[in-house]
Amino acid sequence: MPRYYEHEHRQGYARIRRDGLDHWNDLHPADSGDGYANFAARPFLERVLTPPLNGLSVFEYGCGTGGAACWLAANGCVVTAMDLIPDAITVARERAALQDLDIAFSVGDICAGDGPEISADLVLDCFCLQSVVMDEDREALFRAVRERLATSGRYLIATATADPDREYGEDIRDDGTGIVWTPSNAPGDVERRIGGTRYVPTRRHLTPETLHHELESAGFEVLEQAGDGGGELVCRRRP
């Protein structure tokens, strides 16, 4: 049985590859960017990191089509990047090759403990965490980050948070957990029935305060929380 977070992303990245799109946001016209160089988390990275970044080792999980990985490599970082979906990694490798960038891309699931055995100066999450919904998967993700983050390293997260003005349409957000449930007949290992309709978990939108507490409880110190809705965070392993 595929994990609950697989089906949507397999379909999405297959379309991105087929249609020659740049990023996940390009699947949604209202959120579409302006070319491959303008990935969603770029303003955040430009704010918290000052190029050149020569020699910094970076591990990015959930890298998608590789926009952030390419930007970091172009600014001197030694980048290892991973995504669950093969189509995403195929596109990322193609885009990196066009820029003559040497990036170690691989297919893997951070929630299953996949990833390199390294001690990274930076571990990066660009809008991946919000798709990791269940408690046990988020715990596994944070454990994997701690194992790969150098003692003096930084964990950078860009994620969506709870917005009281967000319209969910047919989706249902559980106010207690922040989990967003979407009507679906797609295969997956987690579901719930509401009024005879099958729902699967697709996102977890926590309040900024709850997200901060979760990270602190997971063994990180939040050094900075800013951005739209408090979804841009700079963390380190708790001493």
Per-residue model confidence (pLDDT) at position 169: 96
Q: Is residue 106 part of a domain?
A: yes
Give the integer Cα–Cα distance in Å for 111 and 3: 10
CA distance 128 to 8: 13
The answer to whether 21 and 78 are in contact (CB under 8 A) is no
Q: Is residue 210 part of a domain?
A: yes
Distance CA 97, CA 70 (A): 10
Q: Which two tokens stand for residue 127?
A: 């809008």
CATH of the domain at 212: 3.40.50.150
* Separation CA 131–CA 138 (nearest Å): 10
| pLDDT exceeds cutoff 90 at 184 | yes
Residue 177 belongs to some domain of the structure: no
Kindly state whether residue 219 falls inside one of the protein's structural domains: yes
Note the pLDDT of residue 2: 94
Report strand pairing: 78-83 vs 192-194: unpaired
In this structure, is residue 174 part of a structural domain? no
Reported as a pLDDT band with limits 50, 70 and 90, residue 239 is confident
> Which range marks the domain in which residue 135 is found?
6-164+206-237
pLDDT digits (tens, 9 = 90+) for 70-84: 999 999 999 999 999
Beta strands in 39-177 (DSSP E): 57-61, 78-83, 104-107, 120-126, 149-158, 172-173
Residues contacting 73, CB < 8 A, separation 6+: 79, 96, 101, 102, 103
Q: Is residue 176 part of a domain?
A: no
The answer as to whether 181 is a domain residue is: no
What's the structural domain count of the chain? 1
pLDDT at 160: 97
Per-residue pLDDT tens for 24-63? 999 998 778 789 999 999 999 999 998 789 999 999 999 9
pLDDT, residue 214, reads 98
**Residue 208 is which amino acid?**
P
Residue 101, domain member (yes or no): yes
- Distance between CA atoms of residues 57 and 112, nearest Å: 22
CA atoms within 13 A on the CB side of 205: 18
- What confidence score (pLDDT) does residue 221 get? 98
